[in-house]
Amino acid sequence: MISAVYPGTFDPITYGHLDVIERAAQRLGHLIVLCTRNPSKQPLFDEAERVELIRASTAHLPSVDVDTFDGLLVDWCNARGVKVAVKGLRAVSDFEYELQMAQMNSHIGGVETLFMTTRPVYSFLSSSLVKEVARYGGDVSDLVPPPVDQRLAHTFG
C-alpha cells in the first residue's frame, strides 16, 4: 500500500478535487489530503473552514485522511515518510507550473509527483470560478459537495 499526499489550497474543495481524491485513494491505498498554503493566493475561507469542508466532503472515504501544514510540502512529507504527491491536471495549461513544482519537490526533498488527469466533465472547474459564480448568485450545486454549496450560500447570502 502506498501512502500519498494530495496537497492544495482547497478554497473550497470542489467535485473536481473530490474526483481525483476518490480515484487516487482507490488506486494507491491511502491518501492524505493536505490543506496547505499557496503564497500567491489569498483564500476566502480560513484554514479551519477549508479543513472542515474537506472532512465533511470525504467522510465517506475510509482510506482518506485530512491534515494541514504551513511550510514546505517536502518537509511535511519527509517528516512522515510520504514519498509521493498526487496532483490533478485539468488541461495542458496546468502542466507548466505543475511540472516546475514537481521537479522542485523532487530536487529539494526527493518527493515524486504522480499526475492524474481530471475527468473531462470537470476540466473547466476551479475553486476561483466557483466562488465567482456563487458570489453573484449562480447555481454551483452540481460543482461542489453539499456542505460547500451550503457554506457558499451562507457566505454570499
Position among 8, 16, 88, 145 found at the interface with ligand PNS (CB under 6 A): 8
Q: How far apart are CA 88 and CA 36, in angstroms?
A: 16
Decide if 128 is catalytic: no
* Min separation Cβ 104 and ligand PNS, Å: 4
Residue-by-residue DSSP string for 52-88 = HHHHHHHTT-TTEEEEEESS-HHHHHHHHT--EEEEE
Within positions 87 to 146, which residues make up the interface with ligand PNS, using CB under 6 A? Answer: 101, 104-105
Position among 36, 57, 58, 113 found at the interface with ligand PNS (CB under 6 A): 36
Nearest to 114 by CA among 70, 90, 92, 83: 83
Residue 92 neighbours by CB distance under 10 Å: 7
Is residue 16 within the footprint of ligand PNS (CB under 6 A)? no
10 by DSSP, 3-state: which?
coil
The piece of 3-11, 44-52, 54-62, 133-141 that touches ligand PNS (CB under 6 A) is 3-11
Interface residues with ligand PNS (CB under 6 A) are: 7-9, 36-38, 41, 72-73, 101, 104-105
Query: So which residues are the catalytic ones?
Result: 17, 41, 90, 127
